[in-house]
Amino acid sequence: MSLMPVVKNQYQDDEGRSTPNGFLYTYEPGSNTLKDTFTDSGLTTTNPNPLQADGAGRLSNVYLGSGGYRMEWRDENDVVVWSQDDVFAAADGSDIANLETDIAETKQENVQNEASYTDSGVADAYVLTIKGGLTAPTAYRQGMRIIFRPTATNTGASTVNVESIGVVTLTMEDGVTDPAAGFIEPSRDYEYEYVGSIFRLLGRSNQRAEEDIEDQAISSSKIADNAVTLAKMAPGTQSHAVTYDSSNDPKETGDVVYSWKVIDTIDLTNGGNNDTSLWNVTGIASTCNALEVLFYNEGHDSSATVKVRVGPSGGTVNTGYDYISTDDSGANVNATDGFDVTSGALASAKNLHGKMEIRKIAGTNNWVASGHAAASPSTFEVFDGDGIISLAGDLTQLDILVDAGNFNQGTAEVRALVQLDDL
């Protein structure tokens, strides 16, 4: 076993003052069951529990046993000063090997969570196999995404079975409505997300399969110079006649075409000043129907929750959210003041990587958010969450913030899925 990472510990209160004659209580993780620490590296003699500090607020050497601890520091009057869960001794070789295995498995799960699949099913019952030689998933996970091109057009309510895990219902974006007959067709790619016990539609591509275009439908010999008329196009093209936007670039009048646009790339250090707790991003087009906020190596100077808030032209809102997030310990947090990138407060020593994706329900100002992020170093943490917000108008701005302290490192990038006219 290993010596506790800090020796001659001296604990302080919230104002930075030492707490003489304080008490260290040690428990099993996530519980109030006392767990022993030891006076020696052989783990033969246990400390008192609680263990009292001296008049300077210092403790003697404390050796930790196997597994984690929940630690609680109280002052000399037995009043709780702070509590910290999931405290571990410094890692030995076996711990590092297990951690490397966990990281590899997490990476594999992340790949599976947004993988493409081949369909071998029939109309209304699609059967999917993972592409690219990746390891197949063995269970459905919340937030898991699948992308596939169906082999047959649906006739109504439909299901999917991924790698023989089990049959699951496919729904539209609202998570309730069945797809109408003909909505699922072999000429498009479809993306779904596993939410609750169903796969909810995230989107479908505008690209159609090449085989849907008749050979020689338009030949150059039938088109005069500088003249393309509907009469010389193949049947069925009239509703997709070519028109031009304000920049004289061609566009279709049939299908509205969307593309991703980078709205802002933010240096979270504010040029090295490390003095900013909130970044407001404006200029999001009203045609936007999806947003992504990406975090690279984000850090902050206090224990804090990283949040994203959205709003119409009048300003971002900090109420009305219903966002449930969880960390890898299984603890759930319900946030009503924003979309939490971290499930609760994240320590200042951690670096955060991940994204928050926010998508609009067509024809409404209702938005659905889905977040995934991980924090390192030391004890690794993984956060996942889903939630909703209803706005009073078109979403045109968002905030990226910490609820305590300031950002002090990293980059954030905001991307919007907007109509081509707004690029």
* Residue 402 sits in the same domain as residue 276: yes
Whole domain around residue 364: which residue ranges?
Answer: 258-422
The 10s digit of each residue's pLDDT in 321-331 is 999 999 888 88
Burial 253-273 (b: 16+ CB within 10 A, else e): eeeeebeebebbebebbeeee
pLDDT reported for residue 1: 47
Please tell me the total count of domains within the chain.
3
- Assign residue 321 the CATH number of its domain: 2.60.120
For range 282-287, the mean pLDDT: 92
* Residue 289 sits in the same domain as residue 187: no
What is the reported pTM?
0.43
Cis peptide bond upstream of 377, omega within 30 = yes
Residue 324 tokens, joined: 């449930």
Give the span between the Cα atoms of 32 and 47, in whole angstroms.
17
* Residue 272 sits in the same domain as residue 358: yes
Cis peptide bond upstream of 50, omega within 30 = yes
Give the span between the Cα atoms of 336 and 319, in whole angstroms.
6
Q: Supply φ then ψ for residue 108, to 5 degrees.
A: -60, -40
* Residue 65 sits in the same domain as residue 139: no
* Residue 137 sits in the same domain as residue 198: yes
* Residue 13 sits in the same domain as residue 124: no
Residue 225 tokens, joined: 């110079």
The answer to the question of residue 233 being in a domain is no
* Residue 394 sits in the same domain as residue 319: yes
* Residue 71 sits in the same domain as residue 190: no
At residue 348, the 3 state secondary structure works out as: coil
pLDDT reported for residue 243: 56
For range 343-372, the mean pLDDT: 94
Is 245 a residue whose pLDDT tops 80?
A: no
The answer to the question of residue 228 being in a domain is no
Is 375 a residue whose pLDDT tops 50?
A: yes
* Residue 167 sits in the same domain as residue 33: no
C-alpha dihedral sign at 10, 84, 342, 281: negative
pLDDT reported for residue 277: 95
pLDDT band with cut points at 50, 70 and 90 for residue 366: very high
pLDDT band with cut points at 50, 70 and 90 for residue 292: very high
Q: Could you tell me if 94 and 101 are in contact, meaning their C-beta atoms sit under 8 angstroms apart?
A: no
* Residue 123 sits in the same domain as residue 161: yes
The 10s digit of each residue's pLDDT in 106-145 is 555 555 556 789 999 999 999 999 987 788 888 998 888 9
The answer to the question of residue 364 being in a domain is yes
* Residue 77 sits in the same domain as residue 182: no
* Residue 279 sits in the same domain as residue 413: yes
